[in-house]
Chains A and B, each alone.
Chain A
Amino acid sequence: MLMQEFEALFEEVEFVVIAVVVLLLAYLALEHREIVYSVFFFGFMAASVAGFYLLLEAPFIAGMQIAVYTGGISALIIFGVLLLPRAQGSSLEVLQTPRMRRIGMILSATVMTLSAVLALVFPWSQSFPADRPPIAQDLAGLAAWLWGEHGIYVQLVALMMLTAVIGSVAILKMEKTEKLSPLKDRPGLGSRGKENEGASETKAHDEEHQDAKEAGTQ
């Protein structure tokens, strides 16, 4: 009995430590003056949230969180900071008006109060977890759920990745963003298509004229 109490206390200590680390890193990620530090704190915060997922007995999601968030999204944002030299100056936050800060505080305080009411007053304690199968079965079961029963969502995720790549290529190659003009250049990296484009455009014109003539005579 003493061992079980010790284990329960240990679990609560782990939870509190991870929660404090996560919230501290999140606050630092938002409030630090330098942007590069802020992005690194965000990367560390994502790794600590993976610790939360381990407490919640989801090992695959913990691994995926570290791989995608810290390894992918954090690197993306750091690359974005590299590409935007104006973002690296730390003087932008000095121009904040106190009105904006007050609105932000009121909004987030409202959100947090309403959800604290939801979290602490609602009788969540009436739902208890059932038996957990061991972890090796968990991964096979999760794969069966995702790829077996709900395989269509995996294909939807593939389509979404396709859309993200094509969209980012298209937006990066736009000449004038306010006019949203179509792509002038061949999509993709580099501009190798420029010599072929003149010839192919005239050919396309001729073919269109031919089609119109055919449609006119019939």
Chain B
Amino acid sequence: MSQLLPYLGVASLLLVVSALWARQLFLTRKSRIELIVSQKREPTSGSSASHRDHGERIFDLGDWDFVSRNAPSEIQEMFLRERAILAISWLRRTRARISLVMRAHVAAVGQIDDLHLATELKLALSYLVVLTLCDLLIVWIWLRGPVRTRKMVGRTLRTVAWLRGAFEQLMARVSAEI
């Protein structure tokens, strides 16, 4: 057992450093992050409302306040059930979209000459963080419902927004190189 201690120590240290790095990354970017993550959709009419975020709509507490004040308990349960279904569906889509962008990035990154290793590592770390967060949120929502998970979702939205911003910057560099 004592032989494993140094390895455990190094692993714990790496984990703490990664966590601190990720935290620092999100905190410094936080002020510049727009909470609204625009959708990939390109409607024919280009209506203004289409650029709003579905996540914000799903987790809007105003609806829950209204339902909890004005509807009987069975409708309140129905509301929470419906919102949980929507929230899980939205998280699955977000996860799939991020994975798609990451795959596209990995495919394109081979074409860059001046690859910034630190940026790529940050990106990879953030990608893993977002995927883990999405998975945890799905389980959390399934267990506790969408209303109680509102704060966690807010953080995920900010992380996802940052990740998308970082992807866009990198993808712009890729396009410039090509």
Q: Do A and B bind each other?
A: no
